[in-house]
Chains A and B, each alone.
Chain A
Amino acid sequence: MDIEQEAQRPSTEDVPARQRPPVIEPGHTFASVTDKISAIVLTRGLRWGWVIGFGAAFLLTMALLFSIAYLVAVGIGIWGVNVPVGWGFAIVNFVWWIGIGHAGTLISAILLLLRQSWRNSINRFAEAMTLFAVACAGLYPILHLGRPWLAYWLFPYPNTMSLWPQFRSPLIWDVFAVSTYATISLLFWYVGLIPDLATLRDRAEHRFAKSFYGILAMGWRGSARHWEQYEMASLLLAGLATPLVVSVHTVVSFDFAISIIPGWHATVFPPYFVAGAIYSGFAMVMTLAIPLRKMYGLEDFITLRHLQNMAKIMLATGLIVAYGYMIETFMAWYSANEYERFMIWNRMTGPYRPFYWSLMLCNVVTPQLLWLGKVRSSVPALFVIAIIVNIGMWLERFVIVITSLHRDFLPSSWGMYWPTIWDWSTFIGTIGLFLALLFLFIRFLPMISIFEMRLLLPGADAKEKP
């Protein structure tokens, strides 16, 4: 109909060639942006790629369910944990996932406060990724309990025996931090979705789709009053979420820092955990964004500019993490504490040294390539580096959890830890769950914030005369 034709394109050819790539490719209008993004959900049908991807992820999720069932039926002993290594894969993966879950809120909150408009095209699925990562992370602390069915005892609920949680335990702080983080991220994400849900409501042909999105949109009609309150709310949420993001991984780091185990008991943990979280978070966003933009032809919206900015953030946080490793080693020497010194020495030369050194390779050496503009502007290179960093961050958690525990104070109690097939199946299972949720998300919700993309368009400025 006529609306389509009069999408006449304001010329944006005056962008010089040598400038850094734009956050949105020229030639788009409100209409074209809206149509292109909403089409992924509304008009395009099932794609084979999606079906296969989702199918695979779904199978892995089933593997996860099976592993959980067996775990609950038989006991935690099916994992490799023992004394002295009471925490194994479960906690490693928990911290890894939580870390990944930091990018989303960070992008949408902190970058919003910093008025980084380039974030607009990636924050939506980054937030989704956050939610799913937190969901995966949240599984582990429950599953790793000796009696998982009693996990609710960690929440303060009134009971006849007036038994309460023990609020000095970092694990309780975890419960509050992670559940708060999950709640706030969900709200933030949903609030962000409302205007786009309205768009989908207004553009959906199918009755079911119309009512589905209609209900979710809650009658949003984009009036000036709405927008005013809406903007205010998002700003406030961003202001709240920012310290929250920082607090969550700080609290997670307390799980270790509060203890007395050499290699855990370190004051550097909070900052270096937070940096590590952002590091791994952006690595994961990159890992997902690169294939996604290709699959759905979104190069116009997720441009090289975004990838480059994320690469720079990775470089920066990577350096902070490297500094963390350095300080750990330095303090071990400087403290003149025989246990601390042995701990570092054991990491470097002990039975788990391959993990330590490959961690250094992945997290410290590899990201240095990002200093080179060439590397930053080569999509495949970025993709590979992002994946390496993901692995590196997993190794970091393995080194922290296992090599600190397996040789602590009394040599008589030293032992080794090796994961069993059930450790692996659970880990891979959560990756499946994560991907499955992600596939559902990109199929049923706009993976890019449409209304925020509109803001980026040249015609969006109200000051210029019509």
Chain B
Amino acid sequence: MTSKNNEDLDLKAIRARLEKARGRHYWRSLEELAATEGFEDWLHREFPRQASEWPEGEAGDAGRRQFLKLMGASLALAGLSACTRQPTELIVPYVRPAEEIIPGKPLFFATAMPLSGVATGLLVESHMGRPTKVEGNALHPASLGATDVYTQASPLGLWDPDRSQAITHLGEIGSWANLQGALSQSLSTQQARQGAGLRILTESFTSPTMTGQMEEILALFPAAKWVQYEPAGFGMQREGSRAAFGEPVNTYYSLENANVILALDSDFLCLGPAGIRYARQFANRRVVRGPKAEMNRLYSVESSYTITGAKADHRLPVRASEVEGIARSLNEALDGQAPSGPHAGWIAALARDLQANRGASVVIPGTWQSAAVHAIAHQINQKLGNTGRTVFHTDPIESGDSSEAGLRELTAEMEAGQVEVLAIAGVNPVYTAPADLNFAQRLNRVPLRIHLSLYQDETSALCHWHIPQSHYLESWSDARAFDGTVTIMQPLIEPLFGGRSAHEFLAAFTAQPQRSGYDIVRGYWQKRRPQNFEMWWRRALHDGVVEGTALPAKAASPRAPASAASPAPAAEGMEVVFRPDPSVYDGRFANNGWLQELPKPIDKLTWGNAALIGAGTAQRLNLQNEDLVSLHYKGRTVTAPVWIQPGHANESVTVHLGYGRERAGRVGSGVGFNAYALRTSDAPWMGTGLEIRKLPGKFPLAITQQHHNLEGRHIVQSATLQEYRENPDFAHEGVHNPPPELSLYPPFTYDSYAWGMAIDMTACTGCNACVVACHSENNIPVVGKQGVLMGREMHWLRIDTYHEGHLDNPHTHFQPMLCQHCEMAPCEVVCPVAATTHSAEGLNEMTYNRCVGTRYCSNNCPYKVRRFNFFNYADYAEVQRLGMNPDVTIRTRGVMEKCTYCVQRINEARIEAKREDRRIRDGDIETACQTACPARAIVFGDINDPNSRVSQLKKNELNYGVLAELNTRPRTTYLAELKNPNPEIEKA
């Protein structure tokens, strides 16, 4: 104990010194925030808003130089002098072979990003060997060419200067050789005892290679145990399928064939291994072109408001613990029993709708709903004959159970002193383990603790050895997608900080401890693909998918769950619901500035989490937004700010995991509160018996959108499918649309190209992928919590969220808002120095070098899409500069910036077209937001070309311009949002 304390103290001291050493910096200001925004501080601060300048306040040049020295040192340490090197092994680019590197021409490499072990296929853009941007891999079933926020934000994680940069032993820099020495001794003793004292703790994984290694190691040490733990894993699914089929089964859906979808507390459009695919399929069945077209219908039953709930035609807000009851009565209703209870009518109508769409409907249980709900869902899908049509079962893709059970067992053994060597790869259990396991103090009973991770995190601090892990863009590996399809992950760059992949780390426990990741992965597959392997290997790397690896669908028929007869009574008292955060997931992305500053889809909350409650609960407890409360649950307490979420179920509190990190890095440490501190292993996702006590004072939450009320303005046009059919032109009613010729001025003609964009709000799910993609593509800086509080966030593209209707269950509309590139741009006229002007192709262009920063353009922009550099936000660390997109200028202080329609991509395509002596074809240019969008809601192109997709969309009667009455003639237009409610429920 005491020894641990001392060590802890030392580390703290070192850390403190290091952080002091940093001068004014991008990171500095964020770190400042992380350090000073503790609510204590806030309660004592008189004028929070006046604190803004202090971060830059003690700008010390000495400090800066010191910082650069340190940074230089760390880079030297990483064996990284001026530029970066591609891996020595042959990696296969997506379009043309690597020997063809042309300066200024990016190459694309196929790889995949595993999250909770499951892969999303990617194409990574590499500039001179520096990965800067990820795009989706169209060949990959989970991506279909699109991406989500986590994949988009991952390059920033690669270039994060806070990543751990050296092997440490008790805080001292050590070497791989030392570690091997230490390890080989204890391994030899383990060998003698069949490895009875050896435990390996990893994340959940689907990697065949890793599975191979696991078998290898367990063969060497038969008595050893391999534990997997995934804080936001799929334990419930697994358990549910076991309950339903008697064996763990992997289930996925094909929404393409579903007319009616029921989401049982499932956020399938956002989170989950196939979220991107589902969003695409959902949109394909939702988007209508012409009044004839049909549209799918989505029902959602959920406690806290998710984007899936927002897209639903009927959303039923109930406490998470009541979802099971609803599922049961639906199940019974399908058998003909009339449902009872408050939602009887709703359920009956739903049941009829499902019955009417047998084989063309699907019931999706929430990943984190109880096993029973999963089992019931399986039954219903079976009953409706959906299996094989919209629902598919395969063998599990993950290599084992990663639920809390395994971890509980492990901690018990640690307590009992049976664990002598504990190797932790990737996981951060000290932070993520359920509170009741008190993992931290039990960990100290293990004689040898080795930890592999990207950061010197909470767990590293308590381990003897820490090994820097290589980022997925730095390492060889492989992983399966939701349907089992394998991707062989190739690195784009040598490990910046000399990290090791999990494979290389675990090799240390095998017979060949020195094998490189490349040899391990390649070796694994070589065994299985003997005939013309080279060809196969190259093809696999090139495509980013290994064909024929999707697992075969298996016919599994669910048996009635044991407890079906007795519906679990919804427990009394306030309920607490734990969910992974839509921005930082389970906390692993806590040090990612883009994700920290990413407004959460519904609440637009950045830089932290809050206890989300419904309006009714707020009234009952007399709570206001930003009030501080203490949450008491099972004898544990955390302090949290309250946020009232319209449409959140009452008597239920949602807390997002992933915040309150202590050792995340300078961005993530100390942001938000730690919800893991309440979470117990027996009820990891929800439980009742929560008590809320109001504390004095408030904690300011950085919200990017305060007003979600349309004020009766015709900004978002929406209607039901029925209304649309009756009145196809509804989108142009209620506002004055001046005809283009209505102008005192002679028109400017755009005769070459005329770029324009159309955004379909029916398709848009508000998932934020485009926002992060824009961040990544355009080198958009992060301003920190203080900046957001002062209304200075820099997002070129934001997603406006408007609520309408009843406070307890409002409709929610998403409207991506970016520069509209008005032909009669109000911003240009008022610029005194002609820094913003119109291009011959109708782009509204910012000339950063000419801008003096009057901010008049921003004032005069009715859409308020212009962003201003109030400070020198782009003051990046050396290593971060390597991650910038070289095609986009980095803006200095005092300059206005905004969406450019990705002009760099336009020019790229123009050069290509010129070289081939042709016009730019439709689809040659795809903006960053467009490529990222899972739902293909954004279409960009030449509106002079009548056949381009964008022109087609602009011809659609749903197409309208926001604030068209101002006659700004926006080039960005929107397609009105359509919903398809069930008339039966509408009436009720």
A153 to chain B, nearest CB (A): 5
- Determine the distance from Cα of A409 to Cα of B968 in the docked complex, in whole angstroms: 13
Instruction: Give the tally of cross-chain contacts (CB within 8 A).
Output: 185
Q: Mark A266-297, 1 if CB is under 8 A from B, else 0.
A: 00000000000000000000000000000000
User: Does the CB pair A74–B859 fall under 8 Å?
Assistant: no
B-side contacts of A413, CB under 8 Å: 705, 817, 863-864
Pick from A87, A339, A418: contact of B859, CB below 8 A: A87
Known: A80-B790, A163-B850. A410 touches B863 (CB 8 A): yes
Which A residues touch B50, using CB under 8 A? 420-421
B854 CB-CB contact with A under 8 Å:
yes
Contacts A153-B833, A169-B829, A169-B831 given; indicate if A81 touches B856 (C-beta within 8 A): no
Q: Which of B831, B852, B862 contacts A147 (CB 8 A)?
A: B852
Is the CB–CB distance between B894 and A75 below 8 Å? yes
Chain A interface residue bracket vs B = 35 or more
B855 at the interface (CB under 8 A from A): yes
A444 within 8 A of B: no
On whether the beta carbons of B52 and A78 are closer than 8 Å, the reply is: yes
Contact A408–B792 (Cβ < 8 Å) = no
Residues of A within 8 A of B791 (CB): 82-85, 415-416
Q: Which residue of B lies closest to A87 (CB)?
A: B859
A203-226 to B contact mask, C-beta < 8 Å, 1/0: 000000000000000000000000
- Nearest-neighbour CB distance to chain A for B210, whole angstroms, equals 45
Contact of B894 among A80, A147, A175 (CB under 8 A): A147
Asked if residues A165 and B834 are in contact (CB atoms below 8 Å), the reply is: yes
| A414 cross-chain contacts in B, Cβ below 8 A | 706-707
**A163–B853 CB distance below 8 A:** no
Q: A166 vs B827: C-alpha distance in the bound complex, in angstroms?
A: 12
Q: Which of A80, A83, A171 has most B Cβ within 10 Å?
A: A83
Which chain A positions have C-beta within 8 A of B869? 75, 146
CB distance from A125 to the nearest CB of B (A): 34
A170 at the interface (CB under 8 A from B): yes
**Complex contact A86–B855 (CB within 8 A):** yes
Q: How far is the CB of B736 from chain A (nearest CB, A)?
A: 10
Residue A172 at the chain B interface, CB threshold 8 Å: yes
- Report A166 CB to chain B, min CB distance, Å: 4
- The 8 Å CB contact of A410, one of B715, B792, B851, B858, is B715
Q: How far is the CA of A342 from the CA of B715 in the complex (A)?
A: 15
Residues of B within 8 A of A146 (CB): 851-855, 868-870, 893-896
Is B872's CB under 8 angstroms from A75's CB? yes
Contact indicator per residue, chain A 148-183, by CB within 8 Å of chain B (1) or not (0): 001101100000000111101111100100000000
Interchain CA distance A151-B858 in the complex, whole Å: 18
Q: Is A144 engaged at the interface, CB distance under 8 Å to the other chain?
A: yes
Selected from B705, B800, B850, B852, the residue in CB contact (under 8 A) with A151 is B852
**A77 interface residue per 8 A CB criterion:** yes
Nearest CB of A to B77, in Å: 32
Closest to B865 in A: A413
Interface string of A398-435 (1 = CB under 8 A from B): 00000001001111111110101110000000000000
Check A77/B859 contact, CB under 8 A, given A84-B864, A164-B834.
no
Closest to A342 in B: B711
Residue of A at shortest CB range from B829? A168
Would you call B10 an interface residue if the criterion is a C-beta within 8 Å of the partner chain's C-beta atoms? Answer: no
Complex Cα distance, B59 from A80, in Å, reads 19
A97 CB, nearest partner CB in chain B, Å: 18
What B residues does A84 contact at CB under 8 A? 791, 858-859, 864
Q: Which of B320-347 contact A (CB under 8 A)?
A: none
Q: B853's contact among A145, A165, A408, by CB below 8 Å, is which?
A: A145
Q: Known contacts A165-B833, A412-B800; is A76 also within 8 Å of B894 by CB?
A: yes
Given contacts A166-B831, A414-B707, A415-B706, contact A76 B853 (CB under 8 A): yes
| Contact across chains for A422 and B53 when beta carbons are under 8 A apart | yes
Identify the closest chain B residue to A407 (Cβ).
B707
- Whether, in the assembled complex, A202 has its beta carbon less than 8 Å from a beta carbon of chain B, the answer is no
B4 within 8 A of A: no
Is A3 on the interface with B (CB-CB < 8 A)? no
State the CA gap A73–B872 with chains docked (Å).
11
* Least Cβ–Cβ distance between A293 and chain B, in angstroms: 40
Q: Which of B52, B830, B850, B962 is the one whose CB lies under 8 Å from A171?
A: B830
CA distance A415 to B604 in the complex (A): 14
Contact partners of B715 in chain A: CB under 8 A = 409-411
Contact of B867 among A83, A168, A342, A408 (CB under 8 A): A83
Closest Cβ–Cβ distance, residue B236 to chain A (whole Å): 36
Specify the chain B residue showing the minimal Cβ separation from A409: B862
* Contact present for A409 and B852 (CB under 8 Å): no
B859 to chain A, nearest CB (A): 5
Q: Return chain A residues, CB-CB under 8 Å to B792.
A: 77, 82-83
Question: Which residue of chain B lies nearest to A166 when distances are taken between CB atoms in the complex?
Answer: B834
Residue B866 CB within 8 A of the other chain: yes
The 8 A CB mask of B855-897 against A (1 = contact, 0 = none) is 1101110111011111110000000000000000000011110
B862 touches A260 (CB 8 A): yes
Contacts of B860 in A (CB 8 A): 259-261
Which residues of chain B are within 8 angstroms of A231 by Cβ–Cβ distance?
none
- Give the complex CA separation of A259 and B854 in angstroms: 14
CB atoms of B855 and A87 under 8 A apart: yes
Closest CB in chain A relative to B815 CB, distance in Å: 8
- Are the C-beta atoms of B858 and A86 separated by less than 8 Å? yes
Q: How far is the CA of A339 from the CA of B965 in the complex (A)?
A: 11
Q: CA separation between A260 and B860, bound complex, in Å? A: 6
Q: Give the distance to chain B from A251, nearest Cβ to Cβ, in Å.
A: 13
B801 at the interface (CB under 8 A from A): yes
Report chain A residues within 8 Å CB of B53.
70, 74, 77-78, 420, 422
Q: Which of B712, B802, B831, B833 has the most CB of A within 10 A?
A: B833
- 18 residue pairs A–B, Cβ–Cβ below 8 Å: A74-B53, A77-B52, A77-B792, A80-B790, A82-B792, A83-B868, A146-B894, A146-B895, A147-B894, A153-B852, A166-B831, A259-B860, A409-B863, A409-B864, A411-B710, A412-B708, A412-B798, A413-B817
Which 10 pairs from chain A and chain B are nearest by CB?
A: A146-B853, A146-B894, A77-B870, A86-B855, A413-B864, A412-B800, A82-B791, A78-B53, A171-B832, A166-B834
- Give me 6 other A-B pairs in contact (C-beta within 8 A), A169-B830, A412-B798 excluded: A80-B790, A145-B853, A146-B896, A163-B850, A259-B856, A261-B859
